[in-house]
């Protein structure tokens, strides 16, 4: 058996010259016993220059942030569990795994397989009390910012303190076969959380265990509060050309959030959804009711945000909590050609069957056309005080606004400096 020193020498010198090789993390000294801090060995494998870093079955305690470089595939055995745990306090920029250069960006990163555990009960893995402390830990498990060509496949995500996977400044990405589970619920426990400048992506086959996720299962947040620790080092900007399909949750807080105030969300398709929801199936409220609201009504007298060419189809939903008066779909951002085709309520599973299916408000000059089993209803919302509310299953819903685009070219130009779309 080679010593750790011999293994490290072999990886650092030979593997760096053999880009098409596979580096087994055990050859770099990883133990996988759940007790040793395997972070140095795992990072040595990631720094080796190998095209594929293989993580065999085992329990890998990770005490420092792992950083993956461009043109790297992390391939994990399905029984490989990497969990975040160490004695030193977590600070801003700490994660279980992140891309190596979120400032300048990375290319062609793939992560396949494995159990990625945020270990919210680990020492110093608690969410900071001050949500606005400038150096506070975000609480997120995986972080990918500034990546062109990101693939995440077959990941078992567990026990995140805040967001499971947070992302921004992405182009050409595929995320599939992701499962979220936790031993208990935690605040702000988003599943897939996207910030701004996200383009050309496919998300499919996403599942969540009962109680998960305890916030947005999938959040497309073109805008968000950058002053909160959850969003440190993300950015605001457009989200465009994204397909989401085959999503299932038994009891999530919110299935989807589409957040636009000054940055647009364009050409997004969501289809084939089966979700029990405690509050929302689709939340498009512009973060009006958050602790850090982004909208002042007087600032946007004709409405805020922009969703254009957004289609949601084949959505099956039911309520799982008896409280909450808000509708399952809330739209309070300017819609341009927004369609819902097939929104089915399941009364046999409903805790609150009387909860409205759709509530559209805080908009002006917006046409609504809604088709149910009993006929077609149309309405025009001329003032922000007007509202359209509908109960039960909906065959189709179409929204289109003549209101002015409130997204600002100045913001888009500024934000584009942080990411160039390819």
Reported as a single tens digit per residue, the pLDDT across 268-316 is 999 999 999 999 999 999 998 888 888 888 899 999 999 999 999 999 9
Q: How confident is the model at residue 19 (pLDDT cuts 50, 70, 90)?
A: low
Q: What's the mean pLDDT in 20-29?
A: 93
If residue 180 lies in a helix (H) or strand (E), which one and from where to where? strand 165-181
- pTM for this entry: 0.92
C-alpha span between 419 and 288 (Å, rounded): 28
**Quick one: 409 exposed, middle or buried, by C-beta within 10 A (0-12, 13-18, 19+)?**
exposed
Reported as a single tens digit per residue, the pLDDT across 47-56 is 999 999 999 9
Please provide the DSSP assignment of 123-150 as one string.
Answer: TT-SPPS-TT-TT-----SEEEEEEEEE
Q: Report pLDDT for 305.
A: 94
């Amino acid at each position: 058996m080679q010593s750790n020193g011999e293994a490290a020498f072999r990886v650092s010198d030979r593997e760096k010259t053999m880009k098409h090789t596979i580096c087994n993390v055990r050859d770099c000294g990883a133990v996988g016993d759940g007790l040793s801090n395997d972070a140095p060995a795992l990072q040595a494998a990631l720094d080796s220059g190998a095209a594929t870093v293989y993580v065999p079955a085992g329990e890998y305690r990770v005490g420092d942030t792992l950083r993956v470089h461009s043109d790297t595939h992390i391939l994990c055995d399905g029984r490989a569990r990497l969990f975040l745990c160490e004695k030193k306090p977590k600070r801003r920029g700490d994660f279980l795994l992140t891309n190596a250069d979120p400032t300048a960006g990375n290319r062609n990163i793939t992560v396949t397989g494995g159990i990625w555990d945020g270990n919210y009960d680990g020492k110093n893995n608690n969410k900071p009390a001050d949500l606005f402390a400038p150096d506070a830990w975000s609480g997120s498990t995986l972080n990918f910012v500034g990546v062109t060509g990101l693939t995440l496949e077959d990941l078992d995500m567990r026990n995140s303190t805040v967001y499971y996977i947070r992302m921004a400044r992405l182009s050409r990405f595929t995320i599939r076969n992701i499962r979220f589970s936790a031993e208990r619920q935690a605040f702000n426990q988003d599943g897939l959380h996207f910030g701004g400048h996200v383009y050309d992506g496919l998300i499919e086959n996403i599942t969540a265990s009962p109680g998960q996720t305890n916030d947005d299962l999938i959040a497309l947040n073109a805008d968000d509060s950058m002053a909160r620790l959850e969003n440190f080092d993300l950015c605001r900007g457009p989200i465009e050309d994204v397909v989401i399909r085959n999503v299932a949750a038994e009891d999530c807080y919110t299935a989807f959030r589409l957040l636009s105030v000054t940055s647009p969300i364009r050409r997004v398709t969501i289809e084939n959804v089966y979700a029990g929801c405690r509050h929302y199936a689709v939340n498009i409220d512009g973060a009006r009711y958050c602790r850090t609201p982004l909208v002042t009504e007087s600032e946007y007298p004709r409405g805020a945000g922009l969703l254009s060419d957004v289609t949601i189809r084949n959505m099956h939903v039911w309520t799982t909590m008896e409280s909450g008066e808000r509708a399952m779909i809330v739209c309070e951002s300017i819609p341009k050609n927004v369609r819902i085709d097939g929104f089915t309520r399941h009364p046999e599973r409903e805790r609150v069957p009387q909860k409205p299916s759709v509530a559209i408000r805080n908009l002006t000059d917006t046409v609504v056309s809604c088709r149910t089993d009993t006929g077609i209803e149309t309405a025009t919302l001329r003032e922000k005080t007007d509202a359209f509310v509908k109960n039960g299953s909906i065959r189709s819903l179409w929204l289109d606004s003549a209101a002015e685009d409130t997204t600002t070219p100045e913001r888009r130009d500024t934000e584009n400096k942080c990411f160039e779309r390819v």
